[in-house]
Amino acid sequence: MHHTTENQQRERVRIHVHDTADDASRALAREIAALIRDRAAAGRPAVLGLATGSTPVRLYRELIRMHREEGLGFGNVVTFNLDEYYGLPRTHAESYWRFMHEQLFDHIDIPPAAIHIPDGTVPRATVFDWCRDYERRIREAGGIDLQILGIGRTGHIGFNEPGSGPDSRTRLVTLDSMTRRDAARDFLGEAGVPRHAITMGVGSILDARRIVLLAWGGAKARVIAEAAEKPPSETLPASFLQQHPDTLFLIDRPAASELTRVKLPWLVGPVGWTPALSRRAVAWLSRHVQKPVLKLLDDDYTEHGMADLLTEQGPAYMLNIRIFNELQHTITGWPGGKPGADDTHRPERAAPHPKRVLVLSPEPSDATHGMGGTLRRLVEQGHQVTIACQTSGNLGVPDDEAATLADFMIELDDAGLRETGPGSGAALARMIKQQLDTKAAFDGDPPALRRFKGVLRREEERAAARACGVPRDRACFLDLPFYEQGRYRQFRTTAADVDALTSLLRKLEPHQIFATGDADDPSSVPALCFDVLRQALARTRDDAWRRDCRVWLYRGPAHDWDIAGIDMAVPMSPMELSAKIHSIRHHKSQRGQQTDETWRQAGHHDQAVARAYDEFGLANYEAIEPFRRWSE
Ligand code: F6R
């Protein structure tokens, strides 16, 4: 057991929680730099075990910065990478070989001979020997001093999927279907994701002298809590790290959110009962004992670690009513405020009416998905609604969708249905077709093709917005440069992004801003878009319009929000729910994408919120779109 304080008593491994992924990455970079320098001073190599994926990208950026600005040399560094997709040549855009060179090796002075990455092109018959040889080379290098790991949502480390034991060694493995789904975006659909990989085994990883596992974002929170708090088991290979004498989980706040000490702190020690925490505890208790809030008894509280809550704020009867009222007041059919009504207990203020409302969508479709029903209400209730898509979303359009559209335009031309001339649409379509035919799969698209795909998503978004009542000229598209110039996992926002949003804010001077504040994955498009918004808000802090502007967060796809964290709940009738789903279906190019599954379930999450309100003993609606109030 590694717990150092009472509230960490459930944790079977050492965990450091940092405010942000950047802070944590900088701390690890400093540790690595110290290791490299110590070894260099002693005339010895530093042997690092490295990982790919989005998680270590910040760490590699910081190491590159230290190389450039602080003279950190990598001449004595030897590296071994954990894994590689089987069947991908080095040159493939998604190969880990290419990833490592683009993200790190090309920017530092490591000797090429010191780099070791599993070879995805070894013929099947010799894979076994190749893997044994990889282990031999690790031993000959003196073993791994520091092994860096990410973690998959299946609990995999390297590509050791559930079922991998603590004695497993470097080998060829089959990827889990959840892992392939998570990689689908990189390969433009699950069908393109390789089925096999070569990976170091759990046993090979446990041989390292020190192990640091990194995890960022809420999407990893559950697997982190299980790996840290449940006994080691093959169903969750990362849990075997508990058996290693020097392992650290280095994580950010959202990734820590499912740890008992964070999620249910009253179960592991005394807590200071703030209003927010009491609300969370009562909501949890009601769910846990499966009773509506007004039926919770004193015994229910005392039996579940909440005796002091009762002492401070009880008896149960009083506490129950107070929390019941708080949650009741989150429900409103007037997301822009109800004109002329007493708004003391309403989530949104009555005046001014109508309001100027800005709805930000990180990519086209996010806003209709997260708040399509509310959008329609805002329009119907007379507010002046503008939808702004922050990025074009062109990276999410598969080639065959673009080809279909280009073919359609050429057909129109061939059928004589369109006046053509130089520079006509058909000429453009022919150029697009040619680019599609000549590009290698998974290679980046040429600019014209990206524009073309971006326009496709624009039109889908306009159709979806129109279905929610927002006219064509009220949908605008920022095409933020960080997205246009980047690719997944490698986006980097700059001042130009903040400039673009700032000028939109200043032009519209909104009374309400709706955005997704998605903490799920800090390298995702929604997270970066939110970061751009935060910076734009910081810049406009002293503008006069800001005194009368509220920021609301809507839920990103595939999230379930705890009812205790909801500040505004906008109910939908069965009719309104089906209208919302209808509007989402306008995003046709997204069929067959990673998001497709979440879309097929469009509405289920809204229904789940409604169910939670019902089970809590509040109203029973068909569906509810939830919002959180955000302030700096
Ligand atoms: C990468 C690797 C994987 C990833 C894991 C998390 O070399 O071995 O275990 O660390 O899949 O991936 P990201 O960081 O993309 O969330």
Q: Is 215 in the pocket of ligand 1 (CB under 6 A)?
A: no
Separation of 200 CA from ligand 1 center, angstroms?
13
Residue 418's pLDDT band (cuts 50, 70, 90): low
Q: Which residue has a Cα nearest atom 4 of ligand 1?
A: 150
Separation of 135 CA from ligand 1 center, angstroms?
20
Substitution site in 48, 55, 594 for ligand 1 pocket (most atoms within 8 Å of beta carbon) = 55
DSSP character at residue 350: -
Which tokens sit at 348? 């949104």
Residue 222's pLDDT band (cuts 50, 70, 90): very high
Mean of pLDDT over the chain: 92
- For residues 532 and 501, is the Cβ–Cβ distance under 8 A? yes
Whole-number pLDDT of residue 421: 57
Region of poorest pLDDT, from 105-114, 368-377, 395-404, 496-505? 395-404
Q: Is 281 in the pocket of ligand 1 (CB under 6 A)?
A: no
Q: Is 217 in the pocket of ligand 1 (CB under 6 A)?
A: no
Q: What is the mean pLDDT of residues 418-434?
A: 75
* Terminal alpha carbon distance of the chain: 38
Q: Is 237 in the pocket of ligand 1 (CB under 6 A)?
A: no
Separation of 214 CA from ligand 1 center, angstroms?
10
Separation of 129 CA from ligand 1 center, angstroms?
25
Substitution site in 159, 216, 220 for ligand 1 pocket (most atoms within 8 Å of beta carbon) = 159
- For residues 8 and 235, is the Cβ–Cβ distance under 8 A? no
Q: What is the mean pLDDT of residues 231-245?
A: 97
In Å, what is the CA distance from 386 to each residue of 328, 375, 472, 517, 535? Answer: 29, 10, 10, 19, 20
pLDDT digits (tens, 9 = 90+) for 513-527: 999 977 788 888 999
Separation of 531 CA from ligand 1 center, angstroms?
23
Q: Is 83 in the pocket of ligand 1 (CB under 6 A)?
A: yes
By percentage, how much of the chain surpasses pLDDT 90?
77
pLDDT digits (tens, 9 = 90+) for 52-82: 999 999 999 999 999 999 999 999 999 999 9
Residue 532's pLDDT band (cuts 50, 70, 90): very high
How many Cβ atoms from other residues are within 10 Å of residue 440's Cβ? 9
Whole-number pLDDT of residue 600: 58
Q: Is 593 in the pocket of ligand 1 (CB under 6 A)?
A: no
Give the distance from CA 36 to its chain's centroid. Answer: 32
Q: Which of 2, 254, 13 is nearest to 157 (CA)?
A: 13
With a cut of 90, say whether residue 419 has pLDDT above it: no
Ligand 1 nearest atom to the CA of residue 96, by list position? 7
Ligand 1 nearest atom to the CA of residue 220, by list position? 16
Please indicate whether residue 558 or residue 166 has the higher confidence score (pLDDT): 166
DSSP character at residue 333: S
In terms of phi and psi (left: phi > 0; alpha: psi -120 to 50; beta: otherwise), the region of 577 is: alpha
Quote the pTM value. Answer: 0.90
Q: Is 556 in the pocket of ligand 1 (CB under 6 A)?
A: no
DSSP character at residue 157: B
With a cut of 60, say whether residue 422 has pLDDT above it: no
Separation of 156 CA from ligand 1 center, angstroms?
8
571 bridge partner residues: 624
Q: Is 258 a catalytic residue?
A: no
With a cut of 70, say whether residue 595 has pLDDT above it: no
Q: Is 51 in the pocket of ligand 1 (CB under 6 A)?
A: yes
Whole-number pLDDT of residue 572: 97
Q: Which residue has a Cα nearest atom 15 of ligand 1?
A: 53
Q: Which residue has a Cα nearest atom 1 of ligand 1?
A: 52
Q: Is 156 in the pocket of ligand 1 (CB under 6 A)?
A: yes
Q: Is 118 in the pocket of ligand 1 (CB under 6 A)?
A: no
- For residues 179 and 161, is the Cβ–Cβ distance under 8 A? yes
Whole-number pLDDT of residue 444: 78
Q: What is the mean pLDDT of residues 607-611?
A: 95
With a cut of 80, say whether residue 234 has pLDDT above it: yes
In terms of phi and psi (left: phi > 0; alpha: psi -120 to 50; beta: otherwise), the region of 323 is: alpha
Whole-number pLDDT of residue 416: 66
Separation of 213 CA from ligand 1 center, angstroms?
10
Q: Which residue has a Cα nearest atom 2 of ligand 1?
A: 158
> How many Cα atoms are found within 13 Å in the side-chain-facing hemisphere of 253?
4
Q: Which residue has a Cα nearest atom 10 of ligand 1?
A: 150
How many Cβ atoms from other residues are within 10 Å of residue 219's Cβ? 19
- What CA–CA distance (Å, rounded) separates 335 from 350? 10
626 bridge partner residues: 569
> Reduced to 3 DSSP states, what percent helix, strand and coil does the chain have, rounded to the nearest 5?
45, 15, 40
Residue 107's pLDDT band (cuts 50, 70, 90): very high
- Backbone φ, ψ for residue 385 (5° rounding): -100, 130
3 state SS for 75-120: CCEEEEECEEECCCCCCCCCCHHHHHHHHCHHHCCCCHHHEECCCC
Q: Which residue has a Cα nearest atom 9 of ligand 1?
A: 158
Which tokens sit at 232? 């080691």
Whole-number pLDDT of residue 417: 60
Q: Is 147 in the pocket of ligand 1 (CB under 6 A)?
A: no
Rg (CA), the chain: 27
Separation of 67 CA from ligand 1 center, angstroms?
24
CB proximity list for 440: less than 8 A, separation 6 or greater: none
Region of poorest pLDDT, from 33-47, 97-111, 117-131, 544-558? 544-558
Substitution site in 151, 168, 178 for ligand 1 pocket (most atoms within 8 Å of beta carbon) = 151
CB proximity list for 123: less than 8 A, separation 6 or greater: none
Whole-number pLDDT of residue 462: 94
Region of poorest pLDDT, from 201-215, 416-430, 555-569? 416-430
CATH of 6-261, one of 3.40.50.1360, 1.20.140.10, 2.140.10.10, 1.20.1300.10: 3.40.50.1360
Separation of 352 CA from ligand 1 center, angstroms?
49
Whole-number pLDDT of residue 558: 63
Please report the sign of the dihedral spanned by the C-alpha atoms of residue 343, residue 346, residue 348, residue 354: negative
Q: Is 55 in the pocket of ligand 1 (CB under 6 A)?
A: yes
Q: Is 53 in the pocket of ligand 1 (CB under 6 A)?
A: yes
pLDDT digits (tens, 9 = 90+) for 298-311: 999 999 999 999 99
Separation of 178 CA from ligand 1 center, angstroms?
13
Q: Is 160 in the pocket of ligand 1 (CB under 6 A)?
A: no
Q: Which residue has a Cα nearest atom 3 of ligand 1?
A: 158
Q: What is the mean pLDDT of residues 342-351?
A: 96
Catalytic residue among 11, 84, 94, 161: 161
> Residues, the chain, total?
632
Stated as kind and residue range, the H or E segment containing 512 is: strand 512-516
pLDDT digits (tens, 9 = 90+) for 250-298: 999 999 999 999 999 999 988 999 999 999 999 999 999 999 999 999 9
With a cut of 70, say whether residue 50 has pLDDT above it: yes
Residue 181's pLDDT band (cuts 50, 70, 90): confident
Separation of 179 CA from ligand 1 center, angstroms?
9
CB proximity list for 493: less than 8 A, separation 6 or greater: 480, 482, 528, 531, 532
Q: Is 175 in the pocket of ligand 1 (CB under 6 A)?
A: no
Residue 598's pLDDT band (cuts 50, 70, 90): low
Please indicate whether residue 443 or residue 612 has the higher confidence score (pLDDT): 612
How many Cβ atoms from other residues are within 10 Å of residue 6's Cβ? 10
Q: Which amino acid is at 66?
A: M
pLDDT digits (tens, 9 = 90+) for 285-299: 999 999 999 999 999
Q: Is 202 in the pocket of ligand 1 (CB under 6 A)?
A: no
Whole-number pLDDT of residue 133: 98
For the domain bounded by 356-396+456-630, which CATH number is listed?
3.40.50.10320
pLDDT digits (tens, 9 = 90+) for 315-328: 999 999 999 999 99
Substitution site in 25, 48, 82 for ligand 1 pocket (most atoms within 8 Å of beta carbon) = 82
